[in-house]
Amino acid sequence: MIDFLSVFGLILGLGSILLGQFLDGGHLGTLVNGPAALIVLGGTFGAVMLQSPAHVFLRGLRIIGWVFFPPRFHTEETIARIIDWSNIARKEGLLGLEIVAEEEDDLFARKGLELLVDGSEPEVMRSIMELEIDAKETFDTLASKIYESMGGFSPTIGIIGAVMGLIHVMGNLSDPSKLGGGIAVAFVATIYGVGAANLLFIPISTKLKTLVTNEVTYREMIVEGLVSIAEGENPRNIQRKLEGYLDKTRDVAEDEGPLL
């Protein structure tokens, strides 16, 4: 399901700048400059590629779709499933969850169910599953930070573009016909650099880090439920405990999509 707030925010941000330029008497075409875009975008992506390991950079490219199509979780339904697992475990024992584990689509939950069936101690289960959560959180957070880095690089690259434009201007003072192009690159490159940082890269990074946190919270809820089953807690008490996660995942509790 598309995140309309992100779409509206992007349109509002860019649209306000373009509309302001138009209302101020400027021409929108003056903001279109190929060399400036090449300098800022090429330089920014090149710098990020240089600083990032390949697997982190590629992960960052894969998860950018989360900005408009964030992963969603049926939190309430997952709680209901965990309570069903708890009831099965009380009636049939932990081995009764073997078939449930085989049919579970969520690989993370399946791993926890398999640990339950194998009779793992609760603290061992928690340690194994939290280690996986921490590893994935670290990886996805690093991936989201590449856009934060782009937000840091692009204004500076924009200044480089501006200086290059001014150098071009200074080298052609004797030929007024060439001055306009150099001045255009100088100013537009600065706009591209600052605009890309504040309208795209930094907001994207912040949004992705928030979504990573939401996924971590959802998985922590699964761990808490499975560990409670291993400890033999009453299903009603497990339900009361897990319902405390509803407010934490309220913004992602409507629709579920595949986790990347």
- Over the chain, what is the mean pLDDT? 88
Q: Report the length, in residues, of the chain.
A: 260
Q: Per the structure block, which two tokens stand in for 170?
A: 């200074």
List pLDDT tens digits, range 129-187.
999 999 999 999 999 999 999 999 999 999 998 888 788 777 766 666 666 656 766 78
Specify the residue for token string 């024992």: 93
pLDDT of 223: 96
Buried-state track 47-60, b at ≥16 Cβ within 10 A, e below 16:
bbeeebeeebbebb
Q: Does the CA dihedral 217-222-226-229 come out positive or negative?
A: positive
Question: Are 83 and 239 contacting, i.e. CB atoms less than 8 angstroms apart?
Answer: yes
pLDDT digits (tens, 9 = 90+) for 126-140: 999 999 999 999 999
The one-character DSSP state at 254 is S
Which position has the token pair 């875009």?
A: 37
Contact partners, residue 237, CB within 8 Å, separation at least 6 = 228
Task: Please provide the distance, in angstroms rounded to a whole number, between the alpha carbons at the two ends of the chain.
Answer: 15
| 3-state secondary structure (DSSP) of residue 74 | coil
* pLDDT (tens digit per residue) in 215-256: 999 999 999 999 999 999 999 999 999 998 887 655 443 444
Model pTM?
Answer: 0.84
Residues 113, 225: Cα–Cα separation, whole Å? 11
Measured between alpha carbons, how far is 118 from 137 in angstroms, rounded to an integer? Answer: 26
Per-residue pLDDT reduced to its tens digit, 70-120: 988 888 999 999 999 999 999 999 999 999 999 999 999 999 999 999 999
Is residue 117 classed as helix, strand or coil in its secondary structure? helix
Question: 17-21, 82-86, 121-125, 226-230: which range is least confident on average?
Answer: 17-21
Give the start-to-end residue ranges of the domains of the chain. 35-252
Closest CA to 140 of 208, 218, 222, 52: 208
Q: How far apart are CA 40 and CA 114, in angstroms?
A: 50
